[in-house]
Structure 1
């Protein structure tokens, strides 16, 4: 069977297979260090196209992996049909209802631009290039999570295609089990074609980055600990050790505050006591410019990351982070969690009792396959292991880790039961399958 010809008979969108112009580019994920050897790539024309694809896959014994933008790819998609949903680009912001309805191809930057005009915000992360759907299916750790919880907690409804190829709308009332699973449990249970979610008031937003040379790392970390020790939920701060290729090491503190600039400056005054700032971008900013704080790349590239959840930020952890240069890593970051993220949630994402996340990132070398980056990440993670919980945020999982790492025992058991019930034929495969 020529899979490309068969797929072209059932979908109206673009179908590419090996040998077709553009196939190699279409199969690549966001992280170019991950190789995806898929059988075909389908860029669906619309939700009906997605339904037709699922019905065909079920009859033909095919498996579909859905990647709106390719973030979170692991390479476990050999021989599958890779579904792209970039053309599902509906974006409807309803300010009176504080509500947004977005298609599966819409990115956070688009939502924030649209919502900003009304003094509203979605629960976006640091990158405007991430799709709302993929991020939210994994829970979604936002700049504003300390105030409003996971992005998945704000979802009102999902438009889906189930494993029989039937379109439906899923709410807490219509299908409580599936609604629970889709809010943070990943994409293993249905293909989401659109999401409806709450927007939150953000008439004033303060944020930015303060940066120093690396000799100020200890003083900046002391200030960071002071700030996070009493931070209200409206304030989020991240501490970063940075070492870009060809440049001297740096240290930075990134922050957002949902409120007035004067109040933010009072809460952050400990940073002003650390002298020698080489840059300071803090100030009032539109929600649409949230991504400017960290200025993460908006184009795909290779990378290797590792994350741990910390049970605290004691002296031992701080000394480990400051003891040696972070090279060959580009960044070692502490993210303050807590607040609403620590509250119970009737969703697969649940609550995070851990007050900090540790995130380490580097670019794999051309000669060692990333061994040096992995080794440095391993050494840091091992040194702080007495203060890690063993759980990881779903959207921070990386190749080699499992979905079970992101959930409580009860949650992963419930997700697995639902997977067996809703997809016994294995029509769908997420980046991190719950049965693995």
Structure 2
């Protein structure tokens, strides 16, 4: 293997091997045969040819987000060094290497009054999010992250470098825009950028005693929100602090428009804090302030058809502990319109995401039980966003049966030797 690639190769017993194979979620054990840090796209192609000849699978991760531990017997490919980033402001396009984090893309395009489609965390890779479809702060205005991808540079199952577009290979292009990382290894992608001359956003935070009124205001706002406005509600209970409730917002437009749309929040009790302000698109990560270093966690997500009075009352009747957060994201807008991706349009109105820390086996069991109990209170639609799946779930939880069947046919055609091992394999 070391003769085949120019990048660093680590084997069991080598110094640094355990740290190199570790996923972002430290609650996931990730057994691998080797770790390869590719030097460039040619290195990726050489590794695929090596793996084919050795009969070994490759699991690709820039930094380990979304890892599920389904890597036994595989080579773990790290693509962090594929970090090229080219921005064409006039054409509103960017070419983004597989190792480029969302925050870096945002920092590069912000001076031009443009934006990508970032999620809540600035440290996840743009390519990884796009391969899973991708729910963005600006998805209500522009759809799935994958909908903005116009081309992929990949290495295929034969170890060949290829450019995949809607014209050159419509089936694989469709599948890569949300079908996961088991179809080819993406080395870079071309992304359409979007205008963002004005952005208003931030978090308002109250003690949890005000959660019923905050929820009422949140439902009022989301019932009439234009596509440019995104609002997320968070029930929070951090260790050592009292329970709280927050509303996180972004608005692609002037501050005065945003304040008018959010006026129901201003009629509530005085918040503990109000961080809303005009902001650059490069600072979006500060709104939710998610951790930027690896840690252990257990999550569960659902897509919700509605937030009716009965389910909301039941949700707010008990503390969320031992969970740290229960987040509700407003969808609709462009998410509900036609999409050339495996997910298709989202007819569900909201996404639910629950998170806790499995500090020990008993706590892990309690976290899972609480997540299940909350899910039972709310009207779930039956499927889940691919990037929100947890390690115990499968790709079948994310796609309609006909889309999953098509993805499996494309997988069989483009990777017949099953060289590429996705976090969530398309086939059982």
TM-score class normalised by the smaller sequence:
over 0.9
Is it true that 1:410 corresponds to 2:383 in the alignment?
Answer: no
CA contact (8 A) 2:315 2:377 kept: no
Query: Is the 1:16–1:23 contact (alpha carbons within 8 Å) kept by the matching residues of 2?
Result: yes
Spell out the pairing of 1:6-405 with structure 2 (5 A cutoff). Answer: 7-368=1-362, 370-384=364-378, 387-405=379-397
**Counterpart position of 1:432:** 424
How far residue 421 of structure 1 moved from its aligned partner, in angstroms, is: 1.3
Please give the per-residue CA displacement for 1:247-285, whole angstroms capped at 9, x wherever unaligned.
Answer: 100000000000000000000000001113110000100
Q: Name the CA distance, whole Å, in 2 between partners of 1:371 and 1:316.
A: 27
Shift of the alpha carbon at 1:347?
Answer: 1.5
Shift of 1:395: 0.3
Asked if 2 retains the 8 angstrom alpha-carbon contact of 1:150 and 1:341, the reply is yes
Contact 1:88 1:105 in 2 (8 A): yes
**Equivalent residues of 1:138, 1:349 under 8 A apart:** no
| TM-score normalised to structure 2 length | 0.99
Q: Is the 8 A contact 1:43 1:86 kept in 2?
A: yes
Where 1:368 maps in the other structure, the secondary structure is helix
**What is the rounded CA distance, in whole Å, between the counterparts of 1:317 and 1:175 in structure 2?**
45
CA distance in 2, matches of 1:225, 1:325: 20
Measured in 1, the distance between the counterparts of 2:353 and 2:332 equals: 16
Structure 1 Cα separation of the partners of residues 149 and 361 of structure 2: 44
Deviations 1:383-424 (A, max 9, x none): 22xx11110000000111110111111100000111111112
Secondary structure of 2:206 counterpart: strand
**1:382 CA drift (Å):** 1.8
Aligned to 1:4: none
Q: How many residues align?
A: 428
Mapped to 2, the partners of 1:221 and 1:76 lie a distance apart of 39
- Provide the C-alpha distance between the structure 2 equivalents of 1:403 and 1:188, rounded to a whole number of angstroms: 11
1:224 is paired with a residue whose SS is helix
Shift of 1:79: 1.2
Partners of 1:298 and 1:186 in 2: CA distance: 23
Distance 2:191 2:183 in 1: 19
SS at match of 1:117: helix
Contact 1:13 1:45 in 2 (8 A): yes
State the SS of the aligned residue for 1:9: coil
Question: Do the aligned residues in 2 keep the contact of 1:364 with 1:370 (CA within 8 Å)?
Answer: yes
**Per the alignment, in what secondary structure is the counterpart of residue 8 of structure 1?**
coil
Query: What's the secondary structure of 2:3's corresponding residue?
Result: helix
Contact 2:110 2:281 (8 Å CA) reproduced: yes
Shift of 1:365: 2.1
What is the alpha-carbon distance in structure 1 between the residues aligned to residue 265 and residue 107 of structure 2?
Answer: 30
Give the C-alpha shift of residue 368 in structure 1: 2.0
Shift in Å, 1:316: 1.9
Partners of 2:330 and 2:254 in 1: CA distance: 20
State the TM-score, normalized to the length of structure 1: 0.97
Query: How far apart are 1:329 and its partner, in Å?
Result: 0.1
> 1:349: Cα distance to partner?
2.5
Cα offset, 1:344, TM superposition: 1.3
Secondary structure of 1:370 counterpart: helix
Cα deviation for residue 367 of structure 1 reads 4.4
CA contact (8 A) 1:156 1:197 kept: yes
The 3-state SS of whatever aligns with 2:426 is: coil
Unaligned runs of 5+ residues in structure 2 are none
Q: Distance in 2 between matches of 1:326 and 1:380?
A: 9
CA–CA distance in 2 between the matches of 1:362 and 1:317? 21
Say what the alpha-carbon RMSD is for the aligned residues: 0.7
